[in-house]
Amino acid sequence: MNIIDFLKEQKKWTVSKYKLWKAYHSDYEEYNHWQYHNPNVKTQNALEAKILRQTHVIEKGMSLSHPREKFGVQKALELLDFIDEFVECGYDIKDSVPVLNALGVIKAYLAYHEERGFKPEDVLVRFEKYSEYLLTEEKYGIIEVNKADMEKEVHSSFPEFFMSRHSVRQFSERTIDIEDIKKAVKLAMKAPSACNRQSCKAYFYQDKDVNKELGKVIAGNTGFDGEVQNYIVVTSDMSAFYDPFERNQVYVDGGIFTMALVEALHYYGIASCVLQNGEYKERNLKFKEICKNIPENEKIILFIAIGYYKDDFTYAVSHRKNVEDVLIVR
Protein backbone atom coordinates (compact mmCIF):
# COMPACT_ATOMS: atom_id res chain seq x y z
CA MET A 1 0.00 0.00 0.00
CA ASN A 2 1.44 3.40 -0.98
CA ILE A 3 1.46 6.37 1.37
CA ILE A 4 -1.58 8.02 -0.23
CA ASP A 5 -3.75 4.92 0.15
CA PHE A 6 -2.45 4.44 3.70
CA LEU A 7 -3.41 8.00 4.68
CA LYS A 8 -6.85 7.59 3.12
CA GLU A 9 -7.42 4.44 5.16
CA GLN A 10 -6.25 6.18 8.33
CA LYS A 11 -8.56 9.11 7.67
CA LYS A 12 -11.48 6.77 7.02
CA TRP A 13 -10.79 4.88 10.27
CA THR A 14 -10.44 8.12 12.31
CA VAL A 15 -13.71 9.52 10.92
CA SER A 16 -15.46 6.25 11.68
CA LYS A 17 -14.28 6.29 15.30
CA TYR A 18 -15.36 9.91 15.71
CA LYS A 19 -18.83 9.14 14.36
CA LEU A 20 -19.13 6.24 16.79
CA TRP A 21 -18.09 8.43 19.74
CA LYS A 22 -20.51 11.14 18.63
CA ALA A 23 -23.37 8.64 18.38
CA TYR A 24 -22.79 7.26 21.87
CA HIS A 25 -22.40 10.76 23.31
CA SER A 26 -25.75 11.64 21.76
CA ASP A 27 -27.25 8.52 23.40
CA TYR A 28 -25.87 9.69 26.75
CA GLU A 29 -27.32 13.18 26.40
CA GLU A 30 -30.72 11.88 25.32
CA TYR A 31 -31.00 9.20 28.00
CA ASN A 32 -29.71 11.48 30.74
CA HIS A 33 -32.38 14.03 29.79
CA TRP A 34 -35.36 11.68 29.59
CA GLN A 35 -34.83 8.88 32.13
CA TYR A 36 -37.42 9.22 34.89
CA HIS A 37 -34.97 9.81 37.75
CA ASN A 38 -34.34 13.21 36.20
CA PRO A 39 -36.43 15.44 38.54
CA ASN A 40 -37.44 17.61 35.59
CA VAL A 41 -39.15 14.75 33.77
CA LYS A 42 -42.81 14.83 34.80
CA THR A 43 -44.51 13.47 31.68
CA GLN A 44 -47.47 11.15 32.22
CA ASN A 45 -45.61 8.28 30.58
CA ALA A 46 -42.58 8.73 32.87
CA LEU A 47 -44.71 8.82 36.02
CA GLU A 48 -46.73 5.82 34.84
CA ALA A 49 -43.53 3.88 34.11
CA LYS A 50 -42.33 4.53 37.66
CA ILE A 51 -45.72 3.38 39.01
CA LEU A 52 -45.79 0.27 36.79
CA ARG A 53 -42.33 -0.79 37.94
CA GLN A 54 -43.17 -0.34 41.62
CA THR A 55 -46.52 -2.09 41.21
CA HIS A 56 -44.80 -5.07 39.65
CA VAL A 57 -42.47 -5.38 42.63
CA ILE A 58 -45.52 -5.89 44.85
CA GLU A 59 -47.47 -8.26 42.60
CA LYS A 60 -44.28 -10.23 41.96
CA GLY A 61 -43.95 -10.76 45.71
CA MET A 62 -47.46 -12.23 45.86
CA SER A 63 -46.70 -14.58 42.95
CA LEU A 64 -43.88 -16.42 44.75
CA SER A 65 -44.24 -19.89 46.21
CA HIS A 66 -42.79 -18.78 49.53
CA PRO A 67 -42.97 -14.98 49.90
CA ARG A 68 -41.29 -13.30 52.81
CA GLU A 69 -43.63 -12.80 55.78
CA LYS A 70 -45.12 -9.28 55.96
CA PHE A 71 -43.26 -8.30 52.78
CA GLY A 72 -43.73 -5.15 50.77
CA VAL A 73 -44.91 -2.53 53.29
CA GLN A 74 -42.25 0.03 52.38
CA LYS A 75 -42.69 -0.71 48.66
CA ALA A 76 -46.46 -0.13 48.94
CA LEU A 77 -45.91 3.19 50.74
CA GLU A 78 -43.46 4.28 48.05
CA LEU A 79 -46.02 3.32 45.40
CA LEU A 80 -48.59 5.53 47.11
CA ASP A 81 -45.99 8.34 47.07
CA PHE A 82 -45.72 7.92 43.29
CA ILE A 83 -49.51 8.01 42.90
CA ASP A 84 -49.63 11.19 45.01
CA GLU A 85 -47.00 12.70 42.69
CA PHE A 86 -49.07 11.68 39.64
CA VAL A 87 -52.13 13.50 41.04
CA GLU A 88 -50.11 16.55 42.09
CA CYS A 89 -48.86 16.90 38.52
CA GLY A 90 -52.47 17.29 37.38
CA TYR A 91 -53.02 13.92 35.72
CA ASP A 92 -56.38 12.13 36.03
CA ILE A 93 -56.41 8.72 37.72
CA LYS A 94 -59.54 7.66 35.80
CA ASP A 95 -57.66 8.03 32.50
CA SER A 96 -54.64 5.99 33.60
CA VAL A 97 -54.65 2.19 33.40
CA PRO A 98 -51.26 1.98 35.19
CA VAL A 99 -52.56 3.94 38.20
CA LEU A 100 -55.87 2.06 38.33
CA ASN A 101 -53.85 -1.15 38.12
CA ALA A 102 -51.60 0.03 40.97
CA LEU A 103 -54.59 0.74 43.20
CA GLY A 104 -56.09 -2.65 42.38
CA VAL A 105 -52.80 -4.35 43.23
CA ILE A 106 -52.54 -2.50 46.56
CA LYS A 107 -56.06 -3.67 47.42
CA ALA A 108 -55.11 -7.26 46.49
CA TYR A 109 -51.91 -6.89 48.52
CA LEU A 110 -53.87 -5.78 51.60
CA ALA A 111 -56.31 -8.68 51.19
CA TYR A 112 -53.38 -11.09 50.72
CA HIS A 113 -51.86 -10.05 54.05
CA GLU A 114 -55.21 -9.94 55.85
CA GLU A 115 -55.75 -13.60 54.96
CA ARG A 116 -52.44 -14.29 56.71
CA GLY A 117 -53.26 -12.32 59.84
CA PHE A 118 -51.35 -9.12 59.08
CA LYS A 119 -52.69 -5.59 58.59
CA PRO A 120 -50.19 -2.99 57.33
CA GLU A 121 -51.94 -0.03 59.00
CA ASP A 122 -49.83 2.70 57.37
CA VAL A 123 -50.72 1.40 53.91
CA LEU A 124 -54.41 1.02 54.81
CA VAL A 125 -54.68 4.62 56.04
CA ARG A 126 -53.02 6.15 52.99
CA PHE A 127 -54.84 3.89 50.56
CA GLU A 128 -58.28 4.89 51.84
CA LYS A 129 -58.40 8.21 49.93
CA TYR A 130 -58.06 6.37 46.61
CA SER A 131 -60.63 3.60 47.26
CA GLU A 132 -63.27 5.38 45.15
CA TYR A 133 -61.25 4.63 42.01
CA LEU A 134 -61.24 0.85 42.40
CA LEU A 135 -62.70 -1.15 39.50
CA THR A 136 -64.47 -4.02 41.24
CA GLU A 137 -65.03 -6.05 38.06
CA GLU A 138 -61.31 -6.41 37.37
CA LYS A 139 -58.92 -9.01 38.81
CA TYR A 140 -55.68 -7.68 40.27
CA GLY A 141 -52.62 -9.08 41.98
CA ILE A 142 -52.23 -12.76 41.18
CA ILE A 143 -54.19 -15.51 39.43
CA GLU A 144 -54.15 -19.21 40.31
CA VAL A 145 -53.76 -21.54 37.32
CA ASN A 146 -54.11 -25.26 36.74
CA LYS A 147 -51.56 -26.63 34.25
CA ALA A 148 -54.12 -28.89 32.56
CA ASP A 149 -56.39 -25.91 31.84
CA MET A 150 -53.46 -23.88 30.55
CA GLU A 151 -52.39 -26.69 28.18
CA LYS A 152 -55.82 -26.56 26.52
CA GLU A 153 -55.18 -22.91 25.66
CA VAL A 154 -51.65 -23.71 24.43
CA HIS A 155 -53.09 -26.04 21.79
CA SER A 156 -55.97 -23.76 20.87
CA SER A 157 -56.10 -20.75 18.51
CA PHE A 158 -53.09 -18.44 18.20
CA PRO A 159 -54.60 -15.58 20.28
CA GLU A 160 -55.46 -18.00 23.10
CA PHE A 161 -52.00 -19.57 22.93
CA PHE A 162 -50.28 -16.19 22.96
CA MET A 163 -52.35 -14.86 25.86
CA SER A 164 -51.81 -18.03 27.91
CA ARG A 165 -48.09 -17.38 28.39
CA HIS A 166 -47.12 -15.37 31.48
CA SER A 167 -43.95 -14.67 33.44
CA VAL A 168 -43.84 -17.45 36.02
CA ARG A 169 -41.77 -17.60 39.21
CA GLN A 170 -42.79 -21.06 40.41
CA PHE A 171 -41.21 -24.14 38.83
CA SER A 172 -41.47 -27.90 39.06
CA GLU A 173 -38.45 -29.85 40.38
CA ARG A 174 -38.42 -31.94 37.18
CA THR A 175 -35.08 -31.87 35.34
CA ILE A 176 -35.17 -29.99 32.04
CA ASP A 177 -34.93 -32.25 29.00
CA ILE A 178 -32.31 -30.81 26.64
CA GLU A 179 -34.37 -32.01 23.67
CA ASP A 180 -37.17 -29.62 24.68
CA ILE A 181 -34.64 -26.77 24.76
CA LYS A 182 -33.33 -27.72 21.31
CA LYS A 183 -36.85 -27.76 19.86
CA ALA A 184 -37.64 -24.37 21.39
CA VAL A 185 -34.41 -22.77 20.15
CA LYS A 186 -34.97 -24.18 16.68
CA LEU A 187 -38.34 -22.40 16.56
CA ALA A 188 -36.84 -19.19 17.97
CA MET A 189 -34.25 -19.19 15.20
CA LYS A 190 -37.08 -18.22 12.82
CA ALA A 191 -37.19 -14.82 14.54
CA PRO A 192 -36.24 -11.99 12.16
CA SER A 193 -32.79 -10.44 12.54
CA ALA A 194 -31.00 -7.53 10.88
CA CYS A 195 -30.23 -8.60 7.30
CA ASN A 196 -30.61 -12.22 8.47
CA ARG A 197 -27.27 -12.01 10.26
CA GLN A 198 -28.57 -14.23 13.08
CA SER A 199 -26.36 -12.67 15.74
CA CYS A 200 -28.04 -14.29 18.74
CA LYS A 201 -27.10 -17.35 20.77
CA ALA A 202 -28.77 -19.12 23.71
CA TYR A 203 -26.44 -20.56 26.34
CA PHE A 204 -28.02 -23.33 28.43
CA TYR A 205 -26.08 -24.67 31.41
CA GLN A 206 -26.93 -28.11 32.81
CA ASP A 207 -24.42 -27.81 35.67
CA LYS A 208 -26.28 -26.96 38.90
CA ASP A 209 -23.35 -25.03 40.34
CA VAL A 210 -23.19 -22.73 37.30
CA ASN A 211 -26.92 -22.00 37.56
CA LYS A 212 -26.60 -21.39 41.30
CA GLU A 213 -23.73 -18.94 40.80
CA LEU A 214 -25.62 -17.13 38.03
CA GLY A 215 -28.64 -16.89 40.31
CA LYS A 216 -26.56 -15.08 42.93
CA VAL A 217 -25.61 -12.30 40.51
CA ILE A 218 -28.69 -11.94 38.27
CA ALA A 219 -31.02 -9.07 39.22
CA GLY A 220 -34.77 -9.57 39.57
CA ASN A 221 -34.86 -13.19 40.76
CA THR A 222 -35.03 -12.48 44.49
CA GLY A 223 -37.42 -14.81 46.27
CA PHE A 224 -37.61 -17.50 43.62
CA ASP A 225 -34.02 -18.20 42.58
CA GLY A 226 -34.11 -21.39 44.63
CA GLU A 227 -36.83 -22.82 42.36
CA VAL A 228 -35.15 -21.99 39.05
CA GLN A 229 -34.01 -25.19 37.35
CA ASN A 230 -31.81 -23.48 34.75
CA TYR A 231 -30.98 -20.10 33.28
CA ILE A 232 -30.69 -19.44 29.56
CA VAL A 233 -28.23 -16.67 28.73
CA VAL A 234 -29.16 -14.80 25.54
CA THR A 235 -26.30 -13.05 23.77
CA SER A 236 -25.82 -11.11 20.55
CA ASP A 237 -22.56 -10.87 18.60
CA MET A 238 -21.26 -7.29 18.31
CA SER A 239 -19.01 -8.32 15.43
CA ALA A 240 -22.12 -8.95 13.31
CA PHE A 241 -22.56 -5.17 12.98
CA TYR A 242 -20.43 -2.49 11.38
CA ASP A 243 -21.49 1.13 11.86
CA PRO A 244 -22.77 3.64 14.48
CA PHE A 245 -26.13 3.25 12.76
CA GLU A 246 -26.24 -0.31 14.10
CA ARG A 247 -24.80 0.30 17.56
CA ASN A 248 -27.98 -0.84 19.35
CA GLN A 249 -28.92 -3.64 16.98
CA VAL A 250 -27.60 -6.30 19.40
CA TYR A 251 -30.48 -5.40 21.74
CA VAL A 252 -33.07 -5.33 18.97
CA ASP A 253 -32.07 -8.73 17.63
CA GLY A 254 -31.73 -10.10 21.16
CA GLY A 255 -35.18 -8.89 22.19
CA ILE A 256 -36.91 -10.32 19.12
CA PHE A 257 -35.10 -13.64 19.52
CA THR A 258 -36.03 -13.82 23.21
CA MET A 259 -39.72 -13.19 22.55
CA ALA A 260 -39.78 -16.05 20.07
CA LEU A 261 -37.85 -18.26 22.47
CA VAL A 262 -40.10 -17.80 25.53
CA GLU A 263 -43.19 -18.49 23.40
CA ALA A 264 -41.54 -21.65 22.02
CA LEU A 265 -40.58 -22.75 25.54
CA HIS A 266 -44.19 -22.20 26.61
CA TYR A 267 -45.39 -24.39 23.75
CA TYR A 268 -43.16 -27.22 24.97
CA GLY A 269 -44.38 -26.90 28.57
CA ILE A 270 -41.52 -24.86 29.98
CA ALA A 271 -42.35 -21.84 32.14
CA SER A 272 -40.11 -18.80 31.97
CA CYS A 273 -39.36 -15.40 33.43
CA VAL A 274 -37.23 -12.93 31.48
CA LEU A 275 -34.66 -11.13 33.66
CA GLN A 276 -32.97 -8.01 32.36
CA ASN A 277 -29.22 -7.59 32.34
CA GLY A 278 -28.15 -4.22 33.73
CA GLU A 279 -25.25 -2.81 31.74
CA TYR A 280 -22.62 -2.79 34.48
CA LYS A 281 -19.18 -3.72 33.21
CA GLU A 282 -18.05 -5.45 36.40
CA ARG A 283 -21.20 -7.53 36.63
CA ASN A 284 -20.99 -8.59 33.00
CA LEU A 285 -17.39 -9.67 33.54
CA LYS A 286 -18.60 -11.72 36.50
CA PHE A 287 -21.28 -13.39 34.37
CA LYS A 288 -18.73 -14.36 31.75
CA GLU A 289 -16.38 -15.60 34.45
CA ILE A 290 -19.13 -17.90 35.75
CA CYS A 291 -20.20 -19.11 32.31
CA LYS A 292 -16.64 -19.55 31.03
CA ASN A 293 -17.63 -20.00 27.38
CA ILE A 294 -19.11 -16.66 26.27
CA PRO A 295 -16.57 -14.83 24.08
CA GLU A 296 -15.67 -11.15 24.42
CA ASN A 297 -17.40 -10.19 21.17
CA GLU A 298 -20.80 -11.33 22.45
CA LYS A 299 -22.94 -8.97 24.50
CA ILE A 300 -25.10 -10.57 27.20
CA ILE A 301 -28.58 -9.24 26.44
CA LEU A 302 -30.64 -10.90 29.19
CA PHE A 303 -31.36 -14.08 31.13
CA ILE A 304 -34.35 -16.41 31.10
CA ALA A 305 -35.19 -18.31 34.29
CA ILE A 306 -36.87 -21.58 33.29
CA GLY A 307 -38.41 -24.76 34.65
CA TYR A 308 -41.34 -27.02 33.84
CA TYR A 309 -44.76 -25.82 34.95
CA LYS A 310 -46.12 -27.01 38.29
CA ASP A 311 -49.54 -28.69 38.30
CA ASP A 312 -50.89 -25.61 40.09
CA PHE A 313 -49.20 -22.23 40.16
CA THR A 314 -49.84 -18.50 40.33
CA TYR A 315 -48.69 -15.56 38.24
CA ALA A 316 -48.91 -11.78 38.47
CA VAL A 317 -51.83 -10.32 36.50
CA SER A 318 -49.86 -7.25 35.30
CA HIS A 319 -52.60 -5.33 33.49
CA ARG A 320 -51.69 -3.77 30.15
CA LYS A 321 -52.46 -0.27 28.96
CA ASN A 322 -55.40 0.39 26.66
CA VAL A 323 -54.69 -0.36 23.02
CA GLU A 324 -55.59 3.27 22.21
CA ASP A 325 -52.62 4.36 24.32
CA VAL A 326 -50.25 2.12 22.37
CA LEU A 327 -51.57 2.14 18.81
CA ILE A 328 -51.32 5.69 17.49
CA VAL A 329 -53.31 6.22 14.30
CA ARG A 330 -53.45 9.46 12.33
Q: Which domain holds residue 192?
A: 144-314
> Which is nearest to 214 in space by CA: 266, 142, 275?
275
pLDDT computed for residue 138 by the predictor: 86
Please list the pLDDT of the chain residue by residue as tens digits (330 residues): 788 888 888 998 898 899 999 999 999 999 999 999 999 999 999 999 999 999 999 999 999 999 999 999 999 999 999 999 999 999 999 999 999 999 999 999 999 999 999 999 999 999 999 999 998 888 999 999 999 999 999 999 999 999 999 999 999 999 999 999 999 999 999 999 999 999 999 999 999 999 999 999 999 999 999 999 999 999 999 999 998 999 999 999 999 999 999 999 999 999 999 999 877 889 999 999 999 999 999 999 999 999 999 999 999 999 999 999 999 999
108 and 173 assigned to the same domain: no
Is residue 53 a part of any domain in this protein? yes
What integer pLDDT is reported at residue 2 of this predicted model?
A: 86
Q: CA 232 to CA 235: how far, in whole Å?
A: 10
User: 83 with 216, same domain?
Assistant: no
What per-residue confidence (pLDDT) applies to 239?
Answer: 97
Q: Tell me whether residue 3 is in a domain.
A: no
In this structure, is residue 321 part of a structural domain? Answer: no
Is 320 part of any domain? no
136 inside domain: yes
Q: What is the pLDDT of residue 63?
A: 96
Residues 6+ apart with CB under 8 A from 66: 223
Residue 6 pLDDT: 84
Q: Establish if 77 belongs to a structural domain.
A: yes
Q: In the sheet where 200-204 sits, what is the strand order?
A: 200-204, 230-237, 298-308, 270-276
Which residue in 274, 301, 273 sits closest to 287, CA to CA? 301
Does 260 lie in the same domain as 151?
yes
282 and 156 in one domain? yes
pTM of the model: 0.94
Do residues 188 and 308 both lie within one domain?
Answer: yes
Identity of the residue numbered 17: K
Question: Is 211 part of a structural domain of the chain?
Answer: yes
Domain boundary among 140, 161, 179: 140
Total tally of structural domains belonging to the chain: 2
Same domain, 129 and 154: no
Co-location of 237 and 114 in the same domain: no
Element (H, E) at 215: helix 208-217
Residues 196 and 303 in one domain: yes
pLDDT of residue 129: 95
* Cβ atoms of residues 278 and 222 within 8 Å: no
Instruction: Give the pLDDT score at 245.
Output: 93
Final residue in a domain of this structure, among 117, 140, 163: 140
E-state strands within the chain: 142-146, 200-204, 230-237, 270-276, 298-308, 312-316
Last residue of a domain, one of 140, 174, 191: 140
Domain of 214, CATH number, reads 3.40.109.10
Q: Specify whether 249 is located in the same domain as 180.
A: yes
Please report whether residue 32 resides in a domain: no
Residues 221, 207 within the same domain: yes
Is 148 found in the same domain as 100?
A: no
Q: Both 150 and 213 in a single domain?
A: yes
